[in-house]
Structure 1
Amino acid sequence: MIDAIRREAASAAPEHARMLLRRNWLRLIIESHTGELERLCMSDPDPHDPQLLLIRACCRDLSGDSYGAEYLRGQGLRVAEDDFVACFTDLLLAPDTAAKAAAADRAHLALTQCGPDDDYSSALFLLGWTEVRLRRDFPRAIALLRSAVAEAQLRDRPETHRLALSNLAFALTQAGLFGEAERLLESLPEASGPSDWDRFEGGLPAANLGCIAYWRGDFERAATLLESAIVEESPGNNFEALARLYYVMSLVALRREERYYAAASLLQGISRADKHGIPWDTLRRVVSAWLAHAQGQDARALALSAPALTRTGAAVAHALLSELYRAIGEPVLSGQAFRLAAAAGLPRYARVSTLVTSAALHSAAGRGDLAHEQLDHALENAAVERVLAPFLSDDPVISDLLTAHAHWGSNHQEFLHEILEKRGLHGTAVGGILTDREKEVLACLRTTMTADEIAARLGVAYPTVKSHIRAIYRKLGVTSRRAAVHAVDPG
């Protein structure tokens, strides 16, 4: 296509070249021909044409020149806002969430009015891409990207198809549909090579697989995946920045104190300004506050996170912040963050986090029945996509509540058993003391199962289970089931 436009530009009919350029500019940007596209704009007989200036602004932004993009966009905004080029330029370059949302609304209308000179396939992808980042309607964003995948395949555009698939996986991850997202991410076609758009987005597959691993409580795998996506010189406002945030949270979960200093430096590289509708400063502050808390600096954690309570539209960040304030001992602040999270519309995994926080707050306040009710709601939401992270905190309130819930009786006893078993593996209290089989028996002792039921579950004889229980008691220096559970509690 680039060569076809060049040939037309060299002919006696440059207006035909401009028509081809206008028809294909969005596809050329998405498929990472930004340098050649900008040179074609510059070689036009009228390089100051507003549409060409807007196209150049998009090229500049993808190349990392945000200031150049801003200036060119300002020069190009001499066209009507319902102009196709202006509309879809704004989807990329709108400076804040409100402006991007307004541009998306115009784009939805523009898609219903696409003419022969408008690139419907690329526009569909870009609108879906935008709606995911606005996080205002995940089902709609997912539907747009599914349509973009199908349209790109029909039109034989493999690069747009790959990008639409990867962004569909991102949308599914953000919505909490982890299983489907993982299947897409693990079967993505290979990129033909480093592209402008891939650099612009920065490490999508590894970052998203790492996010999923984090929420599923597989913190070691999460840290490995996320570390592979980190690039020191990144702009701090793309998937690479998301990888930094979840990498630091994984280190905190793993208590990797030797890496905390380097983790703080990584957070400094994240943008302090919103980009593409993402509130990066709020995200950076919340994770920085968690890191400060892990280092025993609660006053600093409170100071770092305070501005996040003045922002909206960051549901996951505010869910994590609500739990942080609860852990610090600030129930009023925890409630404020909880309300901000709920107002933004919570994906399932963040809802699990807030339900666990709410249960812990009720438990600490002596409202046991409400605590168990909230915890069972959390288990119900978590079981669908195996969301384990919110239950793995080493906080003693959560630990005691989970143990008590196993005896209280849950509608999700099997999943609760999985959590208690995971806590035993995640904690370090029994490391090197109990055998693997003894750890399995201990996990069963955290539930209401009898010795006969434990034997049936593990496929061993009843006397063998009794021998394992005696060995556990002996090694832990206790004489009862309850004492054994409390002796190895990670909190």
Structure 2
Amino acid sequence: MIDEVRREMAAAAPEEARVLLRRNWLRLIIESHTSELEQLCTAAPDPHDPHILLIRACCRDLAGDSYGAEYLRGQGLRVAEDDFVACFTDLLLAPDAAAKAAVADRAHEALSHCGADDDYSSALFLLGWTEVRLRRNFPGAIALLRSAAAEARLQDRRETYRLAQSNLAFALTQAGLFTDAEQVLDTLPPRATPSDWDLFEGGLPEANRGCIAYWRGEFAQAVALLETAIVEDSPGNNFEALARLYYVMSVVALQREDRYYAAAGLLQGISRSDKHGIPWDTLRRAVSAHLAHAQGQDERARALAAPTLTRTGAAVAHALLAELYRTMGEPGLSGQAFRLAAAAGMPRYARVSTLVTSAALHSAAGNGDRAHEQLDHALENAAAEGVLAPFLGDDPIIADLLSAHAHWGSEHQQFLHAILTKRGQHATAVTGILTERERDVLVRLRTTMTADEIAAELGIAYPTVKTHIRAIYRKLGVASRRDAIRAADRA
């Protein structure tokens, strides 16, 4: 493809060369010929033509040079706002959600007026790619990407087809349509080496599968999948960053204390600013707060999470924070995060999370009937795609509520049984990762020994024994010595 364009440009008159670049630039970017495309731009008869500068801006951005991209974009914005090249350059480069949404609206209009020199197939893909990141209309984004894949197949554009299918899988995952997403992932055409666009996006298939495994409560599987997508020195604003977030959440769910330090380091590598409409800092803070809570640092968790309560557009992050605030005894802040999640348009799995949180809040407040109604709504939303993670928390309120719900009378008894079975398996896995010293302490908790006496027998300080006891309770999801012994026996 790139050699054909080179030959045509070498033989073309200046105006014909400009038309050739306009006709092929978007496909060359998507199909990962960015460095060659930029060389063609710099060798063009008029390298300062606005379209040439805008195309180079896109090349720079994919190469990771955001400053150069912005400078070139500024130099190239001497064309009409509805110009096709200007519109789709802005679509690629707009950093925050508000700016990207405004450009996407223009792009929808530009797409309906594509001319002979405009690349309709590539434009369909890029608009669908954008709409997924904006998360404002998943059905529309899915439809765009399906259309882009069909158009690419008709034109035998194999790389565009692969990317459209890959991003379709992501759109389906984010919409909570896990089964459909897995079917698309299973049929993705293989690629021997990562393309420029693959590097730009970073680990999409692995992050997708890991995300699905997390929400289905397969935390160990999620860790194994997500580890393969994590790459040191990544830009921290692509699918590799998403893999980091879900990896840390999976490690926390498994209570793998031996991995907490490394997990904190992974979170430091995630962007503090938005990119392509994704609120990375909000996501990073939400997961960092969960990690801090798992480490027994609730004040730090509150400090990390506080700025997110003034931000919008991160439904999953706010759903996770609603549950975190509840477990930290902050029902008011939990409700605030809940409302932010609802305002953003939640995917089904985030809705399940908020419904479980709501049920637990009502249960703690003594509103039993309302708690069971909310829990039943959660089961209804979760059953179709096997969303288990929100039900597996080690909080005793959720454990008691689920047990009571089995007698309350639900239409989802089979799925509820699957949850209770999974909780037992999860508890067994967690018990198996007690440290050697924690197991020493647990053995002595079976006796009448006091914490002082355990400290003396083990030759360690009293505060250290109390720390071990708190860790044991947290890992077993209990609040007393007697319950810890019972949980250990069940495991």
TM class, shorter-length: 0.7 to 0.9
TM, length-normalised to structure 1? 0.88
The answer to whether the 8 A contact 1:429-1:490 is kept is no
Shift of 1:488: 6.4
Structure 2 counterpart SS, 1:427: helix
Post-superposition Cα deviations, 1:260-284, rounded to whole Å, max 9, x if no partner, equal: 0000000000000000000000000
Instruction: Give the AA of the match of 2:53.
Output: L
Number of equivalences: 441
Q: CA-atom RMSD, angstroms? A: 1.8
Q: Render the CA deviation track for 1:337-383: whole Å, top value 9, x for unaligned.
A: 00000000111100000000000000000000000010010001000
Q: Which moved more, 1:38-47 or 1:14-23?
A: 14-23
Q: Distance in 2 between matches of 1:12 and 1:414?
A: 68
Partner of 1:79: 79
Aligned mates of 1:240, 1:328 — CA distance in 2: 30
Q: Is the 8 A contact 2:358 2:371 kept in 1?
A: yes
- Aligned counterpart, 1:440: none
8 Å CA contact 1:8, 1:16 repeated in 2? no
**Compared CA separation, residues 308 and 194, structure 1 to 2 (3 A):** same
**Aligned amino acid, residue 352 of structure 2:** V
Q: Residues 325 and 43 from structure 1, CA distance in 2 versus in 1: closer, same or farther, beyond 3 angstroms?
A: same
Give CA-to-partner distance per residue, 1:457-489, whole Å, 9 cap, x none: xxxxxxxxxxxxxxxxxxxxxxxxxx9997569
User: Residue type of the partner of 1:132?
Assistant: V
1:265 and 1:374 map into 2 onto residues whose CA distance is 37
How do residues 121-160 of structure 1 correspond to structure 2 at under 5 angstroms?
A: 121-160=121-160
Q: Structure 2 regions of 5+ residues with no counterpart?
A: 433-482
Aligned to 1:340: 340
Change (3 A) 1:489 1:174: farther
Structure 1 distance, partners of 2:485, 2:153, is: 55
Distance 1:121 1:324, change over 3 A: same
TM-score (norm 2): 0.88
Match of 1:413 in 2: 413
Q: Distance in 2 between matches of 1:76 and 1:191?
A: 34
Instruction: Please say if residues 133 and 278 of structure 1, whose CA atoms lie closer than 8 Å, have aligned partners that are also in contact.
Output: yes
**2:385 maps to amino acid:** E
Match of 2:257 in 1: 257
Aligned counterparts, 1:55-454, within 5 A: 55-428=55-428
* Cα distance change on mapping 1:12 and 1:183 into 2, 3 Å: closer
What residue number does 1:470 align with? none
List, as ranges, runs of 4+ consecutive aligned residues in structure 1 with deviation greater than 2 Å.
Answer: 1-12, 428-432, 483-491
Cα deviations across residues 34-83 of structure 1 (Å, max 9, x unaligned)? 00100000001210111100000000011111111111111111111100
Query: Partner letter of residue 182 of structure 1?
Result: E
SS at match of 1:385: coil
Paired residues of 2:169 and 2:182 also in contact (CA < 8 A):
yes
Cα 1:431–1:96 change in 2 (3 A) is closer
Q: Quote the Cα distance in structure 2 between the aligned partners of 1:305 and 1:154.
A: 48
Q: 1:486 to 1:341 in 2, by over 3 A?
A: farther
Seen in structure 2, the aligned counterparts of structure 1 residues 174 and 430 have a Cα distance that, compared at 3 Å, is closer
Shift of 1:431: 6.3
Question: 1:121-174: per-residue Cα shift (whole Å, max 9, x none)?
Answer: 000000000000000000000000010010000010000000000000000000
Q: Which residue of 2 aligns with 1:25?
A: 25
CA distance in 2, matches of 1:357, 1:281: 23
Q: For residue 387 of structure 2, give the secondary structure of its aligned residue in structure 1.
A: coil
Question: What do residues 313-348 of structure 1 show as CA deviations (whole Å, max 9, x unaligned)?
Answer: 000000000000000000000000000000001111
- Per the alignment, residue 471 of structure 1 pairs with none
Q: 1:378, 1:275 → 2: CA distance? A: 32
Q: For residues 215-250 of structure 1, what are the alpha-carbon distances to aligned partners after superposition, in whole Å with 9 as ceiling and x for unaligned?
A: 000000000001110001100000000000000000
Q: 1:408 to 1:488 in 2, by over 3 A?
A: farther
The DSSP-based 3-state class of the residue aligned with 2:217 is coil
8 A contact 1:230–1:243 mirrored in 2: yes
Cα distance change on mapping 1:116 and 1:400 into 2, 3 Å: same
Question: Against the structure 1 CA distance between its residues 487 and 40, is the aligned structure 2 distance closer, same or farther, given a 3 Å change threshold?
Answer: closer
2:84 partner letter: F
CA distance in 2, matches of 1:135, 1:208: 16
1:476 aligns with none
Question: Which whole-Å CA distance do the structure 2 matches of 1:333 and 1:490 have between them?
Answer: 35
Aligned-partner residue type, residue 339 of structure 1: R
SS of aligned partner of 1:229 = coil
Tell me by how many angstroms 1:6 deviates. 2.3
**Could you tell me how far apart the structure 2 residues matched to 1:235 and 1:3 are?**
30
Q: Residues 394-436 of structure 1: CA distance to partner in whole angstroms, max 9, x if unpaired? A: 011101111111122211000000000000000039968xxxx
SS in 1 for 2:384: helix
Separation of aligned partners in 2, 1:203 and 1:254: 23
One-letter amino acid matched to 1:141: A
* 2:270 aligned partner, one-letter code: I
In 2, Cα distance between equivalents of 1:215 and 1:485: 29
Q: CA deviation at 1:13?
A: 1.5
Shift of 1:490: 8.9
Amino acid at match of 1:144: L
Deviation at 1:302, TM superposition (A): 0.2
Q: Distance in 1 between matches of 2:114 and 2:315?
A: 34
Residue of structure 1 in register with 2:456 after alignment: none
Structure-1 residue corresponding to 2:455 = none
